Amino acid sequence: MFECELINRCGFFAKYQESKDLACRGFMSLYCRGPQQADCKRLQYRAEHGVPPDDDMLPTGQKMAGSGS
């Protein structure tokens, strides 16, 4: 198992790691702890902008549904 190097600093992971939402958990196993890590849009955003994206931005680049903002 390999984890994203940002797993301890990622706002999305911090906010949703305890989530029971299946889609959310799926993203974490695919991206944060899985084979699609290199495709994470959050990583790309951080690399491009030099700052982390909103906590509610998913690894796919979409916004978390129902985040209320």
> Among residues 20 and 24, whose Cβ is nearest to ligand SF4?
24
> DSSP letters along 3-68, please?
--TTTTT-HHHHHHTT---HHHHHHIIIIITSTTGGG-HHHHHHHHHSSPPPTTB-TTSSBPTT--
User: Does 30 interact with ligand SF4 (rule: CB under 6 A)?
Assistant: no
> Among residues 32 and 64, whose Cβ is nearest to ligand SF4?
32
List contacts with ligand SF4 (CB under 6 A).
4, 6-7, 10, 12-13, 31-32, 37, 40, 42-43, 59
